[in-house]
Amino acid sequence: MKMPKSCLYFLFFVCLLLTSCSPNKLSTYKKSKALMDTFVTITVVADSQETAEKVIENAFDVIGKYGDLINFYSDKSELSAINRSAGIHEVRVSPETLDTIERAVFVSEKSAGAFDPTIGPETKLWDFVKKIRPSDAEIKKNLPLVNYKNIIIDKGKSTVFLRKKDMLLDLGGIAKGYAADLAVQALKQKGIASGLVAIAGDIKAFGLKPDNKPWVVGIKNPRQKSSEDEIIAKVTLSDKAISTSGDYERYFIIDGQRFHHLLVPATGQPAYSCQSATVIADKGVMTDGFDNALFILGPEKGLELAKEMGLNAMIIDSKGAIHTTSGLQGKLIIERDH
Amino acid sequence: MKETIKNTTLADRLLFFLLISLSVSGIFISRDALSQGSDVIVEVDGKPAYTLPLNADKRLSIDGPYGPTLIEIEKGKVRVKESHCRNQICVRDGWTSRGAIVCLPNKLVIIVGGSNKYQKQGIDAITG
C-alpha cells in the first residue's frame, strides 16, 4: 500500500514536534521553600524532574543548616551564643559562621564602617510596623556599642568575641548572599551546570538557560506607583550574584519624612542619599554586604567604592536619578517609563 | 478537491502545515498572555491550604502551633496582622504586594502573586 505524499509530510512534522519534547531534553525546574525566615526559590536546568527535585532539596538542606547557625532570633544558634557572651568570653564557632563574620568585617573595613554588622543595638530601637522612632538620647546611648573593630576573630582557634557587653552582632545584612553562594556550590557538586538561587532579593545565577541565554533579573522600582510589583530595570547575568538594598523594604512616614531600616552606623539614623542600591559581583556574600554599604555611602562615594572593589552597581539617588558603573553597559535595560 | 491537492507543490504543503502549527500554538500563547489576576496562596506545613484573590479585602485566621495567625488582605496588599510567635518577624514584614511572608514557628508561608507577569517578559527573578 502506498501512502500519499501529504501523509508522509504530516508524519514528518509530527515526529519533529515529538522529538522536540523528548524527556531527556534539558529543562528548567523551580521549587520554593521557607528558610532563613524568608522565601527561597531555586531554579535548575536538569534532564528530569527527579534529578531536579533531588539536587534542589539537597541545596535547601544546605541553606537550612547554615541558617540555623546564624539565626539572630534563635537561642540555639552560634550567633546568639556570640551575642550572649559579649564582653564575657569568646565562643568557638563552625567554619561557616567564622567565614561569614570575617567577610562582614572585610566589607566594614573596605567601606570605612558604612556597613557594620554590630548595628544591632540601634536597629532594635526601631519598630517599623508600630511606627516607633527612638529618641535621640536612646540612639546616642547605644552608639558606643556599634563598632565592627570590637569583633575579635581568632582564626586559629575558630573563635569570635565581642569586646563590649550588650554588643549585638547581626548578620542579616550579609548572610543571605553567603547562603546563595553555599547553595550554588552544593548544586554544582551534584552535577548541575546551570541554575538560579534566589534568597528573597539576594540572587546568584550560574551557567546559561536551556536556550543558551543568560538569566534575567528584574530590579524593583523603589517608588512604584501601584500595589503591583514594578521593575525599573532588567539585567542579564551568568555566573554572577546580585543584591539590592532599598528604603522601601521596612519604613514608615511621619509628617512627610520617611524613616527606614537602613541606618548609618555612625549616627543610628536612616541614610537619606539613596532610594536603592544594587550590586553585582561574583559572590553573593559580597553583593549582599556591599549593597548596604553603597546605600549608606550614597551615589558618589558608593560608585567610587564599587569601582575600587571591582563591583558593578546601580544606585538610584534620593531624587530618582539612576547612576551605574561602566561595567553594566550592554547588560542593563532601563524600562521605558522611567 | 483531490485535483487541488494534486496540483500543490512540496513547498505549498510545507507552508500549509507550518500555518496549521502556528495557529494551534497561537491558541496556547494567547491564552497564556491573558491576565490571570493575582492570588494569595497560604501554605500550612508546606502544603497549599488556601487561595484567595488579592483584589478582595478579607481577613483570615489560621491556627498553628503558636495559636491563631491573623492574615489581612486590603487594597491589593497582604500582611500578618497578629501572630503569637516569639520573634514577630512575620508581623514586622508589614504589608506586601509581591513575594512571600514567612512564619517559621507557625509553619506558615503566604505567597503573593504578581510574578507571572514578569515571567512572561522573560524575567527569572526580582531583586529589591
Name the band, by pLDDT with cuts 50, 70 and 90, for residue A277. Answer: very high
Query: B117 CA to chain A: closest CA distance, Å?
Result: 9
Name the band, by pLDDT with cuts 50, 70 and 90, for residue A4. Answer: low
| CA–CA–CA angle A167, B88, A199 (5° rounding) | 80
The complex scores an ipTM of 0.87
A124 pLDDT more than 90: yes
3-state secondary structure of A75: coil
Q: Which three cell numbers stand for residue A108?
A: 566594614
- When pLDDT is averaged across residues A35-40 and rounded to a whole number, the result is 92
Which chain A residue has the Cα nearest residue B78? A227
For A40-94, what is each residue's pLDDT tens digit? 999 999 999 999 999 999 999 999 999 999 999 999 999 999 999 999 999 999 9
Query: A245 CA to chain B: closest CA distance, Å?
Result: 6
User: Chain A residues with CB inside 8 Å of B76's CB?
Assistant: 226-228
Q: Which three cell numbers stand for residue A61?
A: 538542606
CB-CB contact of B91 with B68 (8 Å): no
Name the residue facing A129 among B94, B109, B117 (closest C-beta). Answer: B94
pTM of the model as a whole: 0.79
Q: Indicate the range of A24-28, A81-85, A166-170, A241-245 predicted with least confidence.
A: A24-28
Q: Where are the beta strands (DSSP E) in chain B?
A: 39-44, 47-53, 58-64, 67-74, 77-82, 99-103, 108-112, 125-127
A173 pLDDT more than 90: yes
**Nearest-angstrom CA–CA distance, A203 and A5:** 53
Q: Is the dihedral of CA A118, A121, A126, A127 positive or negative?
A: positive
Are A228 and B114 a contacting pair at CB < 8 A?
yes
A17 pLDDT more than 90: no
User: Chain B residues with CB inside 8 Å of A278's CB?
Assistant: 127-128
- Mutation for testing the B interface, residue in A10, A27, A170, A227 having most B CBs under 10 Å: A227
Which B residues, 11 through 70, put their C-beta within 8 Å of a C-beta on chain A?
13-14, 17, 21, 38, 46
For B73-99, what is each residue's pLDDT tens digit? 998 889 999 999 988 989 988 888 877
Q: Give one word for B31, left, alpha or beta, with left for phi > 0 and alpha for psi -120 to 50.
A: alpha
Q: Indicate the range of A54-63, A225-234, A250-259 predicted with least confidence.
A: A225-234
Are B124 and A222 a contacting pair at CB < 8 A?
no
- When pLDDT is averaged across residues A244-269 and rounded to a whole number, the result is 95
**Nearest-angstrom CA–CA distance, A302 and B62:** 44
Query: A215 CA to chain B: closest CA distance, Å?
Result: 6
pLDDT of A215 reads 97
Name the band, by pLDDT with cuts 50, 70 and 90, for residue B2. Answer: low
For B29-72, what is each residue's pLDDT tens digit? 333 332 334 688 888 887 888 888 888 888 989 888 898 999 99
Name the band, by pLDDT with cuts 50, 70 and 90, for residue B19. Answer: low
Query: B124 CA to chain A: closest CA distance, Å?
Result: 5
Are A222 and B86 a contacting pair at CB < 8 A?
no
Write A94-99 long-range contacts (CB < 8 A, 24+): A94/A69, A94/A158, A95/A158, A96/A66, A96/A69, A96/A70, A96/A178, A96/A182, A97/A69, A97/A70, A97/A160, A98/A153, A98/A155, A98/A158, A98/A160, A99/A178
User: Chain B residues with CB inside 8 Å of A198's CB?
Assistant: 125
A101 pLDDT more than 80: yes
Question: pLDDT > 90: what percent of chain A?
Answer: 85
**Is some CB atom of chain A closer than 8 A to the CB atom of B92?**
yes
